[in-house]
Structure formats: structure tokens, C-alpha cells
Chain A
Amino acid sequence: MSNFFNIIFSVDFGYAVLRVTTPILFASMGALISDKAGVINIALEGMMLIAALTGVIVSALVQSAGLGLLAAVFMGALVGMMLAYFALNLKTDVILAAIAINLMAIGGTIFILFVVAGDKGISSSLPSLVLPKVTIPLIEQIPVLGPILSGHNILTYLAFLSVWLMYIFIYKTPLGLRIRAVGENPHAADSVGISVRKIQYIALTMSGALAGFGGAYMSMGYVSWFSKNMTAGRGFIALAAEAMGGGTPQGAMLTSLLFGFFDALSNSLQSLRIPAEFVQMIPYLATVIGLVIYAANKTRQIKRIQANKERDANI
């Protein structure tokens, strides 16, 4: 047991939590923006995978990590638009369309990986680049906190910055207001002249772009290669994190950190004498439990409000 606490209260562990939270955080922001516009995006998983491969290929071709990132984000946005086209123009059920995208992403990335790199498993034959790590001058020198907070990949900082930007965007800008209006009540939004379809297009495209950041981080920061199905359910976890975070950027950030914590825990606990399978199960099981607690709380709240209303009506 003391071993266990030694692991959790170490500087390395704190650093690892932020490192593994990054892709989940980006994707949960992607889940948030589409959820705010009233469309659930379960294609985040596939979008991240496609973006991760795009980042590797482009950065290897043009030998620029920045352009690789740009291409990955662009590709994510493009897939987001594709999903919007399927769901909004062709009227495919958005969940089925997203499942189609996820399946295409799993097979399609392997297909393209083989065409480009000649291997079906890993992209190590491609000279792809990684995005730089950043040391923060002053914070770096603080004991304990310094090594935890400083020296991360630039995308890790961007991920946390995106939470703040997302907050401003959703709650303080006209477009954010429109997105929320469409999500709350599309008919009301339509009646005051907001184009529901256009807003949902924008939201899904942004959602894809954010997933693109997450995917780029996976293959150009978290590790320096693309391997098949490397996202391993992070897009789905992000979806759960967003649902549990109560649909706010801050909430989604906290729950993403929680999943990051469990993810990092599963990585470090592998040195202890617990069956590896149970440790690997932790993040997913924690997600289910968290989801149930959140949903149960929400249902209780709604019931209480209804009960209050009825009581007021009786008086």
C-alpha cells in the first residue's frame, strides 16, 4: 500500500497525468461543442485516428512538425464536415454515420499506412517529426510544481488553453450563443432566423478540428509514430468525460483530468503486483461509474424540481 502512495505522490506521476490527459481533453472539448449544438459526435475516435496518421505523413513529407499539425487539424475538421453532410444533408442517423466513420477510420488508416509506409502496424519507417516541448521559465524553478507543470509538449498547454477559449467562445460570443440556442431548442432558434443547419455544420467542423488536435498529439507528442488503432477508445472516453462534466468546459476539464489520473495510474500500477488486466480496466470502469453517478444525480435534481413545482402549484 505504501508503494501505491509513493507512486501517486511522485512528481513523475503528476507529470504523467497531464501528459495522458491532453488527448482526452482536446476530444472532450470537441464533444462539448457538438453537444452544445445538439448533435452527439461519437466519431471523435475515428477523427483522432485519421488526424494522427495525417500528422505523421505530412510532417514526414514536408519535414515540418507545424505543417503536420496544421494538416492533422484540417483533416479533423474535414471529417467533421463530412459527418455534418451525412447527418444534416443526407439525413443519416448521426450515430450510425459516426459509427461508419469510425469503422472507415480504423480500416482506412491501416490501408493508407501500408500504401505510404509499407507496414500495416506502425509508421516507424517514416521520418515523421514531433512537436516541441516547452519549458516555462519561472514556473520551472518552483519545487515540486515546476517539474509537474513545465516541460510538456506545446499541445498540452494548448489543450488547457482551449478550455478557457471554449468557455469564452460559448458563453461570451454571438456565435457561441447561437450554438447554445440551437442545442437547447432548434425550433426556437429557427424561429428567430438562426440557420440550424449552418450552426450545426460549424459545431461539427470545430469538433473535428479539436479531435484533430488530440490526434496530432497522439502521434506527434505522446509518441513519435502512428500505430494502428492507437487512440484505443480515447474518443469514447472523452464523450463520457463531457457527459460527466455536466456540459461545461470547466467540468469537462475536471473529468478529463480524472480520467487522465486513472489512465496514468494504470500505467504506473503495472509495476505493482496487481494483474495488469485489472489495472488496464480502471479508466473504462471509472468512466461507467462516473457516468452513472452523474446521470443519477441529474435525474434526482430534475425530480426534485418537478416535485417543487407541483407543491408550488398546489399552494
Chain B
Amino acid sequence: MSKQSRIFEISRTILAITIALLIALVTILFVSEEPANALSTFLLGPLKSMRHFGNVLEMMIPLLFTGLAVSIMFSSAQFNLGAEGAFFLGGIASTFIAVKWALPNVIHPVIAILVGGLVGAVFCGIPAILKVKWNATELVSSLMLNYVALFFGLYIINYYLRDVNAGAMVSYKLAETSKLIKLIPKTRVHFGIIIAAIAVIAIFYFMYRTRWGYRIRLTGLNSSFARYSGIKTASVIILAQLLGGFVAGVGGSIEILGMYRRFSWQSLPGYGWDGIIVAILARNNPALIPVGAFFLAYLRIGADLMARTSDVQSEVVYIIQGVMIVLIAAESFMAQYRHKLVFKEARNRSV
């Protein structure tokens, strides 16, 4: 990417975020009786104490994984929305290992996370295989399979892992050996953030420095061209979905092992959809995923704090997300400005 178009993309993103925030601010002004308090908590709340900033980092971890997962899958131009189901099933699988198996300290979480990742990979591989083999649209099939994953997972919890004495529909307690250690005192930030950092670096390297990553990106940019240059696009597509599903499954496992004492999700947690937002913010570039994940996590925690201390509900953040997605993904948004930039550059060169 040239320097010019990078400046353009950055300014476009900032403007889109600004517009989204302005719309949210106007909404808050409308519904709130104490808008000043609500606004300051929303925008600055997460910075006011270590605990709240810790919340942002905790929230960031699952978003990093699903953001990476979606960016890999979307890079191959497949609208596979299975990250949601893969994340959920990853959590279920690692709960199973954490509850049923007795393993020593470090090995226990490693095995649980790997199994979670494999389950996620298989899950996201299904829509890809249906697409490649029978040409069934991956968009619809992955949407439907997410619900299948939800009910299948709940079945596993209800019939194999449910602690009847716990009152609610939750699993048995996860074994102490399986849990991820906490890193920062007074917060719940856990070892998962280090795994996430490694994943970001590894996937950036894979996508931009290896042959297979190049094949995935080329297939995504122009699958006919990729096919004519001898790339087996079918296997590339399947590989990308397997890898994406693996990352999402690992994310689900880590979220459960790092943050929970029992498995307690009753519905799909929504991190797969959030991963789409993160991936769009990061333009599918793994290196930018942390920025997108941090930003989204910050917004979410800010909104939560606002809901707790003022009369504005945290759901206002959904409005911001929607506007952001639309404007950032909009090709024509600020197209005139880009036109001017290109024009100026061309004139400068010709002189």
C-alpha cells in the first residue's frame, strides 16, 4: 500500500469513527437526564481505574481471536460466519476436557485449548466443504450451523457436564489444573493475552510471509486469476476456513479457561459477530487486529460503566458499531477526497 493511500485509509477510518461517536452522543443527549455524567463515563471511564482498564484488556482477548479468525476466513473471500459457532464449541470442548480429564498443571490447559481449536476447525470446515463440493452458499449454511452448534453444545452441557446441585444450567467446576493463570493483580487479565499476542504475530507472518498465506490472499482477491496461475483454490479455501475455525475455537477455549469457573453460556456469546467488526476495522490485516480489538473492547467497557452509573443503557454501543461498519466498508465514503489526492499527486509528478 502506498503512503498516500495509507493516509487516506487512516483518515477515512477516523472520520467514520467520529461520525459514529457523534451519532451516539446525540442519542445520549436525547435520552439522558444527566448527559454530561453519562458521556464522561462512556468516553473516559475505562481509564479511571486499573480494574476498569483491566476489564478492557480482558474483553480484548476473545475479540483478538475471533477478529483474527474472521480476517483469515474473509481473506479468502468466503463469507463464512461460523466463527460464532466455532468459538462456542471451542468453549464446550475445553470445558469437557477441563471437567472430565485429570491432567497435570500446564498440560491440562494446553490439551483443552488444542482440542477446542480442533473442534472449531472442523466446525468452520463444514461450510467450506459444502461450498467447494456442492456449491452451497457458505453464508447461509454457516449461519444455520451456528444454531446447530448452540443446541448441540447445550446438549453436551445438559446431559454430560451439568452440575445438578448448582441450581442454574451450568457445568461442573473446571479443574484447578486446567485454568489459565492471572497476570495482573486486581484484574482478571489472564495468560490468554500472551497466547493472543503470539497468535497475532504468527498469523501475520503466515498471511504475509508464507506461500500458503499468499495463496489465501490471492484466491480472495481474484479466484479466477489464482486458479489460472495453478493454485488449487478449493484446497486453499478449505485451509483458510479450517485455520480460521481453529483460531476461533482456541479463542473460545481460552475465554472459558481464563475467565470462568463453570461453563455458563446459555446462548451464543456474540464474539463471532464482534470478530467481524474487528476484522473490518483492521481491514483483514492481522497486524491491525489488536488496534481494532482494543478499540471495540474500550467502547464496550465504557458503555457498560455508563449503564452502571447513569441512566443510559449500554446498548447504545450497537449504534456506534453499525455506523462504523457501514462507513468503513463503504467504498464511496470520501471517494471525492481520494480523487483529489490522486489528482494532486499526478500533477506534482508531471511537473
Q: Which 4 A-B pairs have the closest CB atoms?
A: A107-B318, A104-B322, A277-B155, A90-B330
| Closest chain A residue to B267, Cβ basis | A229
**Complex: how many Å from CA A292 to CA B142?**
12
Please, how many angstroms separate the alpha-carbon atoms of A96 and B328 in the complex?
10
- Complex Cα–Cα for A292 and B131 (A): 9
Complex: how many Å from CA A287 to CA B146?
12
Q: Are A295 and B136 in contact (CB under 8 A)?
A: yes
A143, B148: Cα distance in complex, Å: 38
Interface range for A? 35 or more
* Minimal Cβ-Cβ distance residue in B for A280: B151
**B-side contacts of A295, CB under 8 Å:** 130, 134-137
Nearest CB in chain A to that of B321: its residue: A103
Chain A proximity of B42: nearest CB distance (Å): 14
Chain A's nearest CB lies how many Å from the CB of B265?
A: 14
For A106, give its contact among B134, B145, B316, B318 (CB under 8 Å).
B318
Question: Could you list some 5 contacts between A and B, CB below 8 A?
Answer: A99-B325, A107-B315, A111-B318, A288-B145, A299-B134
Chain A min CB distance to B47 (Å): 24
Contact residue among B137, B158, B319 (Cβ-Cβ distance under 8 Å from A104): B319
Contacts A107-B317, A278-B155: A291 and B330 contacting too (C-beta < 8 A)? no
Q: Which residues of A contact B (CB under 8 A)?
A: 40, 42, 86, 89-93, 95-97, 99-101, 103-104, 106-108, 110-111, 114-115, 120, 233, 236-237, 239-240, 243, 275, 277-278, 280-281, 284-285, 287-288, 291-292, 294-296, 298-299
Contacts of A100 on B, CB cut-off 8 Å?
Answer: 321-323, 325-326, 329
Cβ contact within 8 Å between A277 and B154: yes
Q: Do residues B332 and A292 form an inter-chain contact, with CB atoms below 8 A?
A: no
Task: Pick the most buried of B79, B137, B322, B333: most chain A CB atoms within 10 A of its CB.
Answer: B322
Check B318–A104 contact: CB distance below 8 A. Answer: yes
Q: How far is the CB of B24 from chain A (nearest CB, A)?
A: 11
Taking a contact as CB atoms closer than 8 A, the residue among B140, B151, B319, B333 that contacts A239 in the complex is: B140
Contact B148 A103 (CB under 8 A): no
Q: Are B318 and A275 in contact (CB under 8 A)?
A: no
Contact with A along B83-120 (1 / 0, CB 8 A): 00000000000000000000000000000000000000
Q: Which residues of B contact A106 (CB under 8 A)?
A: 318
B136 surroundings in chain A (CB, below 8 A): 291-292, 294-296
**Alpha-carbon gap, A284 to B85, bound state (A):** 13
B181 at the binding interface (Cβ < 8 Å): no
